[in-house]
A and B are shown apart, each in its own frame.
Chain A
Amino acid sequence: MNPQPVTITFDGRPLTATAGQSVGAALASQGITAWRSTRKGGKPRGLFCGIGVCFDCLVTVDGETNQRACLVEVCEGMEVEGS
């Protein structure tokens, strides 16, 4: 059984992901490596620890701010925003 494709949006743009993927994996698979700017230096950040420890990969998911992209699973129609 192959996982179903699902469509999410990232900063308003539609993006195809695979059911069961994490938000971080969905973004990285599309070549998006950074989706957050640091508060002080405005530096780009994306996945780092990949297991929910470092909080570097924070995104807004369906309006819920500061979610770890490496932990949240994509689902159809999910709206993801960088920060």
Chain B
Amino acid sequence: MSVTVDVAVVGAGPAGLAAAVAAAEAGARVAVVDAGNQPGGQFWRHAPETVRPEPDGHGHHGWSTYLDLRARFDAAQRAGRITYLPGLQVWMAEPGFTLHTTAAVAPAGAVPVAVTADRLVLCPGGYDRQLPVPGWDLPGVMAAGGIQAFIKANGALPGKRFIIAGTGPFLLPVAAGIAEAGGEVLAVLESSSPSAWLPHLRAASGVPGKALEGAEYAAVFARHRIPYRTRSIVTEVLGSGRAEGVRTARVDADGRARPGTGRVYADVDVVGFGWGFTPQLELPVSLGVDTRLDADGSLVGVVDERQQSSVPGVYLAGEVTGVGGAALAVLEGLAAGAAAARPDSGVPVKQPAAIVRHRRFAQAMHQAHPVPAAWQDWLTPDTTVCRCEEVTAGDITEAREELGARDVRSLKSFTRAGMGWCQGRVCGFAAACLGAGPGEAPDAGSLAASAKRPLAAPVGIGELAALD
């Protein structure tokens, strides 16, 4: 099956929904391809509407924004302006543009559709960035965002007693969500220090909504007596066959564990880790979009004030332009959708002030919550780095020292790190750091090698055989 439209949007999270609505309302014929079965993405993920037709938005932020966008999305769909293609993943974006898709699940998955469009708005979002630590490959260890998604989609918890660790403001809603759903959060461990905030207060004051959110979380933390421990990390996940506890430590400013600060939390079901987010960059990269290193060390796509990338006709919105949260993603999506609908309006566009403010706030967040410089010190030689191919930190160090593998590309070749099912999505950042060496941050080239995935999703060979 195939569809031809003016604008194809990839993703139906905050950025994708906004882009689709804006493009459709500006008069474009729009197709929206999304892996999910219903709009919302990760941020507004909710129980299947087939089962709970009237989601109440409990535990969500910006739900009224979602309801507004959703109503406009549904209206545009009814009016035939939006062709909505859920349950599909894009495995390849061809220049020109054609999106090749495959069902996200099988059996009984969606029927693949090839989407041809004059312009693309790519809003693929991101996922939790991970730093390996001994024991993180035990069952019961999850991405912090995975725990949140579990709660939002299932209205249930993946365990009873939780430890949440990593860095960044996102740890707060995850812990709050667990507590509100009836789980016990033994502690939230934040590697950076609260004083890291001070230099950035001015940027934060530009986005008053964020302060409000912070106050909400503080209330939830107080109500549920959730300990929030700064300058603290999990040094090891304990357990045999599954996570049963964690060993923690206080750290110095570089993230080095301070001697004598070790502590054990026993009787833990689930350990959630999040070290910021990694934008899903494979589609923009495969189309040749220019990239840059953002303040959080992530590789992101470069866009102009109309959200257009270096490739004419390819617009980017949301986390792929720099991790900044849902409110910013919506603003970018609206701008990208409108621009993609009317690419030749010729009117110079001033970037909306709100985008500038939110972006400044996001940069401040990134600077206050860096990946600890000394994180590689937490590893032991037998710590798994690549979960798919079971490549250890020792394997990677050896390839770097003996064979000169200093970038992700060589590490892949020599150790198979990043060559498995997930194609380096989970270990890519960590492997790039390890290739650069202890205490080093990876360069853009190494991260770009990690983001290069000629197949953006696994695709059946039977499906490929049907290609001309």
- The chain A residues found within 8 Å of chain B, CB to CB, are 1, 3-4, 18-22, 24-25, 28-29, 33-34, 38-41, 43-56, 58, 61-64, 66-68, 70-73
Contacts and interface: CB of A to CB of B under 8 A. Distances in A.
Contact of B35 (A18, A50, A52, A55): A52
Given A20-B51, A44-B139, A54 B150 contact: no
B150 A25 contact: yes
Interface stretch (B100-108, B332-340, B397-405): B100-108
B143 A49 contact: yes
A47 B146 contact: yes
Given A20-B50, A33-B140, A61-B107, A53 B127 contact: yes
A28 B156 CA distance: 10
> Which among A21, A61, A63, A70 has the greatest number of chain B C-beta atoms within 10 A?
A21
Given A49-B143, A49-B145, A73-B48, A25 B105 contact: no
B137 interface: yes
A49 B127 contact: yes
B52 A50 contact: no
Nearest to B420: A55
Contact of B146 (A45, A63, A70): A70
Given A3-B51, A41-B390, A52 B104 contact: yes
Nearest to B54: A1
A51 B107 contact: no
Interface in B225-243: 241-242
Q: Give the 7 A-B residue pairs with the shortest CB-CB distance, closest first.
A: A50-B146, A20-B51, A55-B421, A34-B139, A25-B154, A33-B139, A46-B139
B146 A51 contact: yes
B122 interface: no
Contacts of A43: 137, 390
Interface string B16-53: 00000000000000000001010000100001101111
B406 interface: no
Contacts of B421: 54-55, 58, 66
Interface residues of B, number: 43
A30 to B, nearest CB: 11
A77 B105 CA distance: 17
Nearest to B387: A56
B43 to A, nearest CB: 11
Interface in B104-148: 104-107, 127-128, 137-143, 145-147
B187 interface: no
Given A44-B139, A71-B35, 9 more contacts: A19-B51, A38-B390, A46-B139, A46-B140, A48-B146, A49-B143, A49-B426, A50-B143, A56-B388
Nearest to B457: A52
B104 A71 contact: yes
A72 B426 CA distance: 21
Contacts of A62: 107
25 contacts: A1-B53, A3-B47, A4-B51, A25-B150, A25-B153, A28-B150, A28-B159, A39-B390, A47-B139, A47-B150, A48-B141, A48-B146, A48-B387, A50-B149, A50-B150, A52-B35, A53-B425, A54-B143, A54-B421, A54-B425, A56-B387, A56-B388, A64-B106, A64-B107, A67-B106
B59 interface: no
Given A20-B48, A34-B241, A67-B106, A50 B147 contact: yes
> Which among B50, B140, B153, B389 has the greatest number of chain A C-beta atoms within 10 A?
B153
Contacts of A45: 137, 139, 387
A49 B389 CA distance: 16
A33 B242 contact: yes
B379 interface: no
A47 B142 CA distance: 7
Contacts of A3: 47, 51-52
A8 to B, nearest CB: 14
B422 interface: yes
B455 to A, nearest CB: 13
Contacts of B141: 48
Interface string B417-443: 000111001100000000000000000
Interface string B149-168: 11001101011000000000
A73 B47 contact: no
B47 A20 contact: yes
Contact of B241 (A44, A52, A58): A44
B145 A50 contact: yes
Contacts of A47: 139, 142, 146, 150, 158
A51 B127 contact: yes
Nearest to A17: B154
Contacts of A29: 154, 156
A35 to B, nearest CB: 9
Contacts of B147: 50
A68 B270 CA distance: 20
A54 B422 contact: yes
A19 B51 CA distance: 7
Contacts of B390: 38-41, 43
